[in-house]
């Protein structure tokens, strides 16, 4: 676990609301309060969000009123719906070309403590999944305690800069992760491994412990399995009981490689889909990542039973694992339950969903066009749907105030067709990822004027570098030892 001195050196004491340059600032505090509860986001030229029928709309010239953690109203900028003298903070989203607002994006699959492993494997000659999986434990063994905390803080803050406000963490660790999430203000779903690839000591008991524990308001729990062939039937029954009792998510890597699909048949005499079905685990609270080596018949079954699917095209191509059959999911009516994830930095170096949405588009071309609006849904409402978070993923009254603010006067948006502002959706996705200007999670500004309000990133980055080298040296030492033993 991390120390309080460590926390202190990484913490920002005052939010970066631009007090100095008053005439230029977008932040107008009406009271001398650092924690505004009633916020008016005024005059955004464009808001991109799904509507109540699930269609993606581009709303023009709107203001948003937020109270505490929630969006209370979205209304035309020229209407006086809110008494401005009663709000704590007015944020000017209209000045200097204005800002485009989107819901905070939802990352449905990540391994948060693996951030320190960037550069450890991605440039290896041997990129196939089975070899990679066997090497991961060498690193993960040393990423625990304060190293895991620093790793998680690096991972989550990078995601925040890409506009991601909710992260599903598939890992055996949770204490250090929640500590990091608390420091940087991220919304988390910690799916705790009942069977882990790299931490052999983990059992279902650790998941239960996390589910029972009192947690920060922005964290919730679930169960993760690394691969099904490593599980026994009693454990699957216990997990199903737990899922029913807590109404919580169960997630796993599913049919990720030909090898893992075959191992399941070898062990259980049946394929993964059938195994989950026999245990009552094909249901809307089950979330399957990758889902590459499945038949069309199995896809029909997964769609019918409303299982959530996480598509990870960059990870799949880097590890040569296979191609996700999106056209089949779409033709069976399952596209609304397909979300996107980054996976860890070992699989996709940039922790960003806009570039992942574009990767999805080019993965399925030229045979199939996944429309930009459908890609936008994958990283917003579809993510919320499969993570069982009905109050996330849209900018609308009653939804949590998780909002990303993007500068319109930027090549990632301009030029666009003013007569058809939906062209902004294609622009933001196809331009290759970008950094946000401001970010709000649960009604709180986490990033303002491109500066993190909670984490001192100029202290964090060298610390990540130091920890990386520390772990790298330990791994190298172990490798030499292992080679000597094998001689
Ligand atoms: Zn994964």
Which pLDDT tens digit goes with each residue over 293-352?
999 999 999 999 999 999 999 999 988 899 999 999 999 999 999 999 999 998 899 999
Q: What is the DSSP string of 367-429?
A: T----HHHHHHHTTHHHHHHTT-TTSS--STTSB--EEEEESSSTTT-S--TT-TTHHHHHHH
Cα 181 to averaged position of ligand 1 atoms, centre (Å): 19
Tokens of residue 484, six digits: 């000597």
Cis bond before residue 184 (omega within 30° of 0):
no
Cα 454 to averaged position of ligand 1 atoms, centre (Å): 28
Cα 289 to averaged position of ligand 1 atoms, centre (Å): 7
Asked if residue 405 lies in contact with residue 436, where contact means CB atoms within 8 angstroms, the answer is yes
21: pLDDT strictly greater than 80: no
pLDDT tens digit sequence for 88-126: 999 999 999 999 999 999 999 999 999 999 988 755 555
Q: Report the predicted TM-score, pTM, of the whole model to 2 decimal places.
A: 0.95
Give the pLDDT band of residue 417 (cuts 50, 70, 90): very high
32: pLDDT strictly greater than 80: no
Tokens of residue 42, six digits: 């005024």
pLDDT at site 133: 64
Cα 138 to averaged position of ligand 1 atoms, centre (Å): 17
Query: What gap in Å lies between CA 153 and CA 130, rounded to an integer?
Result: 28
Cα 230 to averaged position of ligand 1 atoms, centre (Å): 15
Chain-wide mean pLDDT for the chain?
Answer: 92
pLDDT at site 203: 83
pLDDT at site 2: 67
The dihedral built from the CA positions of residue 229, 110, 384 and 49, taken in this order, carries a sign that is: negative
Chain length of the chain: 487
Cα 401 to averaged position of ligand 1 atoms, centre (Å): 28
How many helices (H) and strands (E) would you count in the chain?
A: 16, 18
Query: What gap in Å lies between CA 98 and CA 76, rounded to an integer?
Result: 15
Half-sphere exposure of 445 (CA within 13 A, CB side): 30
Do domains 4-103+395-451 and 105-386 share one topology? The answer is no
For the residues 376-405, what does the mean pLDDT come to?
A: 98
Cα 341 to averaged position of ligand 1 atoms, centre (Å): 9
Cα 127 to averaged position of ligand 1 atoms, centre (Å): 15
Of residues 189 and 17, which shows the higher confidence score?
Answer: 189
**Rounded to 5°, angle at Cα 157 from 442 and 107:** 65
Cα 344 to averaged position of ligand 1 atoms, centre (Å): 7
Which are the contacts of 157, defined by CB distance < 8 A and separation ≥ 6? 184, 452, 455, 457, 460
Cα 123 to averaged position of ligand 1 atoms, centre (Å): 18
Nearest alpha-carbon partner for 106 in 352, 372, 395, 371: 352
Query: What gap in Å lies between CA 244 and CA 387, rounded to an integer?
Result: 15
Which are the contacts of 281, defined by CB distance < 8 A and separation ≥ 6? 236, 239, 240, 243, 250
211: pLDDT strictly greater than 80: yes
Q: How crowded is residue 457: how many other Cβ atoms within 10 Å of its Cβ?
A: 19
For the residues 432-440, what does the mean pLDDT come to?
A: 93
Tokens 């429309």 label which residue?
Answer: 371
Cα 458 to averaged position of ligand 1 atoms, centre (Å): 29
Tokens of residue 13, six digits: 């004491």
pLDDT tens digit sequence for 38-81: 999 999 999 999 999 999 999 999 999 999 999 999 999 999 99
Asked if residue 37 lies in contact with residue 67, where contact means CB atoms within 8 angstroms, the answer is yes
CATH number of this structure's domain 105-386, picked from the four choices 3.20.20.80, 3.40.50.2300, 3.20.20.140, 3.40.640.10: 3.20.20.140
| Nearest-10 Cα torsion for 406, 408, 409, 412 | 70
278: pLDDT strictly greater than 80: yes
pLDDT tens digit sequence for 448-481: 999 999 999 999 999 999 999 999 999 888 888 8
| 4-103+395-451 homologous superfamily | Urease, subunit C, domain 1 (2.30.40.10)
For residue 103, the cross-strand partners are 403
Query: What gap in Å lies between CA 220 and CA 391, rounded to an integer?
Result: 14
Cα 110 to averaged position of ligand 1 atoms, centre (Å): 6
Give the pLDDT band of residue 17 (cuts 50, 70, 90): low
pLDDT at site 71: 98
Cα 346 to averaged position of ligand 1 atoms, centre (Å): 10
The dihedral built from the CA positions of residue 457, 458, 459 and 460, taken in this order, carries a sign that is: positive
Query: What gap in Å lies between CA 248 and CA 389, rounded to an integer?
Result: 11
Query: What gap in Å lies between CA 131 and CA 128, rounded to an integer?
Result: 6
159: pLDDT strictly greater than 70: yes
Half-sphere exposure of 311 (CA within 13 A, CB side): 31
Cα 253 to averaged position of ligand 1 atoms, centre (Å): 6
Query: What gap in Å lies between CA 289 and CA 343, rounded to an integer?
Result: 9
Residue spans per domain, the chain: 4-103+395-451, 105-386
Nearest alpha-carbon partner for 340 in 350, 355, 325: 355
**Rounded to 5°, angle at Cα 14 from 10 and 18:** 120
Cα 254 to averaged position of ligand 1 atoms, centre (Å): 10
Percent of all residues in the chain with a pLDDT value above 90, rounded to a whole number: 77
For residue 41, the cross-strand partners are 64, 91
Cα 75 to averaged position of ligand 1 atoms, centre (Å): 40
Tokens of residue 264, six digits: 């399941």
Q: What is the DSSP string of 27-49?
A: EEESSS-SS-SEEEEEEEEEEEE
In three-state secondary structure terms, 239 is helix
Cα 343 to averaged position of ligand 1 atoms, centre (Å): 5
Cα 128 to averaged position of ligand 1 atoms, centre (Å): 14
Asked if residue 152 lies in contact with residue 160, where contact means CB atoms within 8 angstroms, the answer is no
Which are the contacts of 116, defined by CB distance < 8 A and separation ≥ 6? 139, 143, 147, 150, 151, 154, 464, 467, 468, 471
Query: What gap in Å lies between CA 294 and CA 273, rounded to an integer?
Result: 8
Cα 261 to averaged position of ligand 1 atoms, centre (Å): 15
**Rounded to 5°, angle at Cα 354 from 351 and 357:** 105
pLDDT tens digit sequence for 364-388: 998 999 999 999 999 999 999 999 9
Cα 308 to averaged position of ligand 1 atoms, centre (Å): 15
For residue 89, the cross-strand partners are 29, 39
276: pLDDT strictly greater than 90: yes
Strand duo 438-441 + 338-340: pairing: unpaired
20: pLDDT strictly greater than 70: no
């Amino acid at each position: 676990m991390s120390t309080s001195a460590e926390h202190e050196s990484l913490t920002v004491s005052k939010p970066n609301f631009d007090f100095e340059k008053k005439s230029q600032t977008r932040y107008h505090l009406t009271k001398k309060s650092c924690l505004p509860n009633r916020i008016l986001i005024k005059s955004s030229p464009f808001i991109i969000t799904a509507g109540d029928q699930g269609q993606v709309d581009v709303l023009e010239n709107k203001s948003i009123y937020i109270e505490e953690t929630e969006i209370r109203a979205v209304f035309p900028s020229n209407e006086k719906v809110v008494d401005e003298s009663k709000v704590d903070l007015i944020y000017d989203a209209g000045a200097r070309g204005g800002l485009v607002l989107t819901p905070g994006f939802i990352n449905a699959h990540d391994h948060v403590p693996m951030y320190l492993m960037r550069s450890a494997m991605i440039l290896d000659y041997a990129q196939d999944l089975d070899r990679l999986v066997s090497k991961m434990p060498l690193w993960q063994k040393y990423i625990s305690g304060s190293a895991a905390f620093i790793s998680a803080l690096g991972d989550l803050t990078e995601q925040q800069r890409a506009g991601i406000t909710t992260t599903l963490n598939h890992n055996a660790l949770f204490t250090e992760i929640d500590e990091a999430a608390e420091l940087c203000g991220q919304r988390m779903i910690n799916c705790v491994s009942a069977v882990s690839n790299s931490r052999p000591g983990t059992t279902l008991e650790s998941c239960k412990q996390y589910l029972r524990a009192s947690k920060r308001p922005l964290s919730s729990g679930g169960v993760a399995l690394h691969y099904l062939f490593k599980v026994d039937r009693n454990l699957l029954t216990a997990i199903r009981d737990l899922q029913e009792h807590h109404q919580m998510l169960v997630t796993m890597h599913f049919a990720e490689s030909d090898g893992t699909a075959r191992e399941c048949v070898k062990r259980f005499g049946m394929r993964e889909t059938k195994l989950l079905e026999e245990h009552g685990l094909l249901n809307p609270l089950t979330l399957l990542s990758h889902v590459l080596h499945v038949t069309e018949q199995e896809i029909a079954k997964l769609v019918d039973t409303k299982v959530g699917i996480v598509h990870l095209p960059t990870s799949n191509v880097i590890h040569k694992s296979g191609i996700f059959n999106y056209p089949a999911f779409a033709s069976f009516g399952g596209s609304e339950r397909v979300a996107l994830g980054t996976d860890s930095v070992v699989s996709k170096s940039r922790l960003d969903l806009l570039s992942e949405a574009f990767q999805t588009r080019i993965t399925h071309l030229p045979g199939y066009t996944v429309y930009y609006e459908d890609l936008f849904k994958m990283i917003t409402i579809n993510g919320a749907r499969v993570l069982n978070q009905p109050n996330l993923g849209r900018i609308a009254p009653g939804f949590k105030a998780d909002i990303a603010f993007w500068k319109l006067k930027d090549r990632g948006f301009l030029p666009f067709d003013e007569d058809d502002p939906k062209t902004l959706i294609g622009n933001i996705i196809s331009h290759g990822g970008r950094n946000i200007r401001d970010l709000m999670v649960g009604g709180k500004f986490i990033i303002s004027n491109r500066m993190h309000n909670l984490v001192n990133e100029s202290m964090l980055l060298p610390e990540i570098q130091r920890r990386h080298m520390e772990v790298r040296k330990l791994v190298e030492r172990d490798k030499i030892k292992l080679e000597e033993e094998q001689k």
